[in-house]
Structure 1
Amino acid sequence: MLKNQNSISAKYAWTSGLIFVLLLLAVKANFGMLLKVDTGIIAVVQGSMSAFESSLMTIISHIAEPSLAIVYAVVIAGVLWFMQLRVDAIWAIVTLGGGDVLAYIVKKLAARPRPHWNQVIPETGYSFPSGHTFGTVIIIFFLLWFFVSQLRHSGVQKLCEVILIVWVVLVMYSRVYLGAHYPSDVFGAFFLAVAWLAIARWLYKKLYDFVAQFVEKDIGGKHSQH
């Protein structure tokens, strides 16, 4: 299935990677202008907090937990395996797992403390990049590539795309609203996820036939050509 779809364009991949690297360098250098922009955005986002909005953002944040992203990826991989798209299933698991390792390494490298004010839910660990945002972007792309793209009705397809995009925005917003991350943390995670997905798609194309000969050789007598 994934083999016959367009990947992330080289332009978007390189742009995302460059923006991420610039944000990482700015965070590591404690660039004053970045902190000023971050705190200004946080002040606007948290300017009119309410009990209802806090509860809603908390629920959204819980649904987007990085640990749950692993569960979502396993479910998606299970469905793909059942559909006899075994290379795609393995790719989904490896892509999220490898991405989580990459994001963890970046967190350790950046070593950015969390925002220290107005934390609705106290958070521990480093702040850059946002694990919630990173995992959500990965899962959303999985849904778009594997399922939404297969919908026959273009109107329904567009509606699903809008809903998924809105969900990503809500997750990013919730992490800033709850005081768990700076805005640059969530944007950094977004661009890191896009760049990583582009790399993962490139590896998928390069290694598809090699992996397929082991996991799809019993499908129709030879490995699948999806």
Structure 2
Amino acid sequence: MNLKSNLIIAFFISTICVIGFSLVSLLISDKKIIHFDNRVIAFIQGQETPVLTKVMEFFTFIGSAPFVSVLIILFVFFLYKVLHHRSELILFMSVIIGSAVLNGILKHIFKRVRPDFHRLIDISGYSYPSGHAMNAFTVFVILTFLLWRHIPSQWGRSVLIVCSSFMILAIGISRIYLGVHFPSDIMGGYLASGFWLTTAIWFFQYYQEKRYQQKYKRAGI
């Protein structure tokens, strides 16, 4: 796939994410998404059991800063020492740091208060967009992107996509179940992260292709 095709696809995806995020944000500001949020919360929290609560606490821990930090350190070591991919390491760190910064900026812009009913864990800070949702989407999507070409079999790649998708959804649902986020917070987090990832990955591929073109040009190919 050439650079122009990548640009078109990246522009299309990022545009959808921006429009989606803007729509969710507008509905939140106009208080027109409260009914949807309450219906989804009632359904998810209606499944509450002691065992399920422990499972959801486990998934929310996976999306937390301490666990994500450990995962980042391990993958940085893998990229640098095992694969020797320094450019991919830069992409990985850029999207992780950029996602955290973007989340902080958006939270302080919208300053949405967290749900105040049936909260199963204590947490402070603003609610929209969900930091856990952005963490999960950013980390697992970029891991999938970077590991994809190192997995030779289609079966292995399918497993990678299924596992990453499951973790992203499970972490998002856990935040609703535990009563610390509205469903729209999770949606906004996914969309904001989707925009950031699409933009960062396109710039990475643009840089890689230009570098290869210069290399071949110098070699006279």
Answer yes or no: same fold by TM over 0.5: yes
Q: Does 1:87 align with 2:78?
A: no
- Separation (CA, whole Å) in 2 of partners of 1:207 and 1:76: 22
Report the alpha carbon displacement of residue 209 of structure 1 after superposing the two structures with TM: 8.6
Percent identical among aligned pairs is 23
Is the Cα contact below 8 Å between 1:16 and 1:195 reproduced in 2? yes
1:29-40 matches, cutoff 5 A:
29=29, 31-40=30-39
Task: For structure 2, list consecutive stretches of 5 or more residues without a partner in the other structure.
Answer: 213-221
Distance 1:77 1:208, change over 3 A: farther
Counterpart-to-counterpart distance in 1, 2:99 and 2:211? 20
Structural RMSD (CA): 2.4
Deviation at 1:165, TM superposition (A): 0.8
The change in CA–CA distance for 1:88 and 1:211 in structure 2 (over 3 A counts) is: farther
How far is the alpha carbon of 1:143 from its aligned partner? 1.8
Q: Secondary structure at the match of 1:150?
A: coil
- Contact 1:64/1:136 (CA < 8 Å) preserved in 2? yes
Give yes or no for contact 2:110–2:128 (8 Å, CA) kept in 1: yes
Higher helix proportion: 2
Partner amino acid for 1:61?
T
CA separation in 1, counterparts of 2:21 and 2:69? 23
Are 2:18 and 1:26 equivalent residues in the alignment? no
Partner-residue secondary structure (3-state), 1:123: coil
The residue identity in structure 2 corresponding to 1:113 is V
Query: Structure 1 residues 102, 55: CA separation in 2 closer, same or farther (over 3 Å shift)?
Result: same
Contact between 1:77 and 1:89, CA under 8 Å: does it hold in 2? yes
Q: How many pairs does the alignment contain?
A: 207
Structure 1 residue 74: Cα displacement? 3.0
Q: Which residue of 1 aligns with 2:18?
A: 17
Q: In structure 1, what is the Cα distance between the partners aligned to 2:155 and 2:106?
A: 39
Give the counterpart letter for 2:166 in structure 1.
V
Instruction: Report the TM-score when normalising by structure 2.
Output: 0.85
Letter in 1 for 2:193: A
Q: Secondary structure at the match of 2:202?
A: helix
Give the conservation status (yes or no) of the 8 Å contact 1:70–1:96.
Answer: no
| Mapped pair 1:136 → 2:133 | no
Hey, what's the Cα distance between the residues in 2 that align with 1:146 and 1:205? 12
- Report whether the alignment pairs 1:150 with 2:150: yes
Shift of the 35–188 alpha-carbon distance from structure 1 to 2, 3 Å rule, reads same
Question: How far apart, CA to CA, are the structure 1 residues paired with 2:154 and 2:206?
Answer: 31
Alpha carbons 1:61, 1:132 under 8 Å: kept: yes
1:27-80: per-residue Cα shift (whole Å, max 9, x none)?
Answer: 2x2x23201110111011111310000110001101110343233223222211
Contact 1:74–1:93 (CA under 8 A) maintained in structure 2: no
Q: Is the 8 A contact 2:121 2:179 kept in 1?
A: yes
Match of 1:218 in 2: none
* Unaligned ranges ≥5, structure 1: 213-226
Kindly provide the CA deviation profile for residues 143-192 of structure 1, in whole angstroms up to 9, marking residues without a partner as x: 21111342111112212211211111111110100001000000100011
